[in-house]
Chain A
């Protein structure tokens, strides 16, 4: 075998080896993304009311991909950013009727239906974003026991995390609602859930 042939065979083997390693790595990366979206828990039963008076229960989550958060309208720091991020996601997924957004107020005493409606008009551009209210103790328990999100010293002590819920009412993952990188991750995960075959 001459020198050139040896070099060609060696090059082919190296490329083949690198290709195999790359293929394995890419498969692992894809699977790790799926693993990261494993079911955390089921959504608990709940019943709250939208600002227009409509009752909204956990059954409204069936066959929808839902992004849920706890906010209050007079919150100075995190909530405007969180709501702005909801707004951005709502715009980006406007062509899909599978996706909906839920914001639950942790200050129902101040956040009357009128105030929630005004808040909705400020941030929401579509009808797939629900602003819910109910009894403060009920919401506090729902946050802590139902969604595993801290709710001490409400309203200021609410969690700033977003909850991603799949079409079968499973909690799949949490995201820091004020962090741009986390929002990008959430966006990619929503696409994954849209394409997920059950």
Chain B
């Protein structure tokens, strides 16, 4: 009962954190990052103004950014609840307690980084750090989810044989995915910096002006696809259906990401494609953590 409560609370926090990454992506692609010109207040008050004033802040953008902040607060509360449950009931389970506290630390740091983004007017390095901390946060929460799920359903995971190569491959895949996401964020930052100095550049001018590392993102993307196929192949006879499904999900998601990435270059559908490109790749990060722990016999 207590464990189920903890597990449910962890699942809710994880879903909320993915939703927050989606809304954060929406803030970035809609250009609402400075929608609230101050932090933690939004302009003069705690809530953005509703009346339209031509010389004041753009209220639509302010509300988009404000929604992002509100969801951040809701996620923070859900992680505090997770911690309360962990402290009350799982004081002796050091893993659950430790990772719950870690998730709280990371959500607080990322909230402050969100504030720093506004203070430093969307500094590209803080943007990247904000994204990186969000990825680490969903990884920690995903880990708490699978850990408590395994405690809740020990029968499903009984008798599994550890496969060291596969486990190491998954760790390697996780690191590569994070690097790939940071490369993608770097590309976007690169384009933004080019646009600041050359505001009238067309999309092809912008891509031409990017340095050589623009190819690394695509090359690594295809590399990740083959790597995930290799993992799928090794998991094809795994007794756990969930493990096989997660592996399919990873390969499928990488294919979708490559497709969305190419769409951004060759078609003019930038905003929504960008949003799902970022969001989908953040799913990979959490799912790999779940798969890694799924096939591990403890």
Interface residues of A, Cβ cutoff 8 Å to B = 4, 15, 18-19, 22-23, 25-26, 28-33, 35-36, 38, 40, 92-93, 95-96, 173-174, 180-181, 184, 187-188, 190-191, 194
Q: Are A18 and B198 in contact (CB under 8 A)?
A: no
Q: Are B200 and A19 in contact (CB under 8 A)?
A: no
CB distance from A164 to the nearest CB of B (A): 12
What is the CA–CA distance of A191 and B276 in the complex, to the nearest angstrom? 26
**Which of A23, A33, A35, A93 is within 8 Å of B272, CB to CB?**
A23
Q: A19-B276, A22-B275, A191-B199 are in contact. Are A174 and B61 (CB under 8 A)?
A: no
Q: Are A35 and B52 in contact (CB under 8 A)?
A: yes
Looking at chain A's contact residues, is the secondary structure mostly helix, strand, loop, or mixed? helix
What is the CA–CA distance of A174 and B55 in the complex, to the nearest angstrom? 7
> Could you say which residues of chain B place their CB within 8 Å of the CB of A31?
60
Among the 9-residue stretches B30-38, B86-94, B103-111, B211-219, the one with 4 or more Cβ atoms under 8 Å from chain A is: B30-38
Interface residues of B, Cβ cutoff 8 Å to A = 22, 26, 29-32, 34, 37, 52, 54-55, 58-61, 64, 121, 196-200, 245, 271-272, 275-276
For the complex of A and B, the 5 pairs showing the least CB-CB separation, nearest first, are A32-B60, A29-B30, A191-B199, A26-B271, A36-B58
What is the CA–CA distance of A40 and B52 in the complex, to the nearest angstrom? 14
Chain A, residue nearest B37 (CB)? A181
5 chain-A/chain-B pairs, Cβ below 8 angstroms: A26-B272, A32-B61, A92-B198, A92-B199, A184-B121
Q: Are B61 and A29 in contact (CB under 8 A)?
A: yes
What is the CA–CA distance of A72 and B64 in the complex, to the nearest angstrom? 40
Chain B, residue nearest A190 (CB)? B199
CB distance from A58 to the nearest CB of B (A): 22
**Which of A28, A174, A190 is within 8 Å of B60, CB to CB?**
A28
What is the CA–CA distance of A35 and B34 in the complex, to the nearest angstrom? 17
CB distance from B153 to the nearest CB of A (A): 15
What is the CA–CA distance of A182 and B250 in the complex, to the nearest angstrom? 43
Q: Are B197 and A36 in contact (CB under 8 A)?
A: no
What is the CA–CA distance of A187 and B192 in the complex, to the nearest angstrom? 13
Q: A23-B272, A32-B60 are in contact. Are A173 and B26 (CB under 8 A)?
A: no
**Which of B60, B198, B276 is within 8 Å of A29, CB to CB?**
B60
> Could you say which residues of chain B place their CB within 8 Å of the CB of A173?
54
CB distance from A192 to the nearest CB of B (A): 10
Q: Give the A-B contact count at a CB cut-off of 8 A.
A: 63
> Could you say which residues of chain A place their CB within 8 Å of the CB of B271?
26
> Could you say which residues of chain B place their CB within 8 Å of the CB of A35?
52
> Could you say which residues of chain A place their CB within 8 Å of the CB of B198?
92
Q: Are B199 and A22 in contact (CB under 8 A)?
A: no
What is the CA–CA distance of A31 and B52 in the complex, to the nearest angstrom? 13
Beyond the given A35-B52, A92-B196, could you list 16 further A-B residue pairs with CB under 8 A, ordered by the A residue number?
A4-B245, A15-B276, A25-B30, A25-B64, A26-B271, A29-B31, A29-B32, A31-B60, A32-B58, A32-B59, A32-B60, A33-B58, A92-B197, A96-B200, A181-B34, A191-B200
CB distance from A149 to the nearest CB of B (A): 12
Q: Are A19 and B199 in contact (CB under 8 A)?
A: no
What is the CA–CA distance of A173 and B61 in the complex, to the nearest angstrom? 17
CB distance from B281 to the nearest CB of A (A): 14
What is the CA–CA distance of A178 and B245 in the complex, to the nearest angstrom? 56
What is the CA–CA distance of A22 and B58 in the complex, to the nearest angstrom? 18
What is the CA–CA distance of A153 and B18 in the complex, to the nearest angstrom? 56
> Could you say which residues of chain A place their CB within 8 Å of the CB of B199?
92-93, 187-188, 190-191
> Could you say which residues of chain B place their CB within 8 Å of the CB of A190?
199
What is the CA–CA distance of A18 and B21 in the complex, to the nearest angstrom? 12
What is the CA–CA distance of A23 and B58 in the complex, to the nearest angstrom? 19
What is the CA–CA distance of A187 and B199 in the complex, to the nearest angstrom? 7
CB distance from B52 to the nearest CB of A (A): 7
**Which of A15, A93, A184 is within 8 Å of B200, CB to CB?**
A93
Chain A, residue nearest B31 (CB)? A29
Q: A33-B58, A36-B54 are in contact. Are A95 and B30 (CB under 8 A)?
A: no
CB distance from B286 to the nearest CB of A (A): 14
> Could you say which residues of chain A place their CB within 8 Å of the CB of B64?
25, 29
What is the CA–CA distance of A174 and B58 in the complex, to the nearest angstrom? 13
What is the CA–CA distance of A194 and B201 in the complex, to the nearest angstrom? 12
CB distance from B176 to the nearest CB of A (A): 25
CB distance from A28 to the nearest CB of B (A): 5
CB distance from B65 to the nearest CB of A (A): 10
Q: A4-B245, A36-B54 are in contact. Are A25 and B26 (CB under 8 A)?
A: yes
CB distance from B115 to the nearest CB of A (A): 16
What is the CA–CA distance of A29 and B52 in the complex, to the nearest angstrom? 14
Q: Are A18 and B54 in contact (CB under 8 A)?
A: no
**Which of B54, B121, B272 is within 8 Å of A180, CB to CB?**
B121
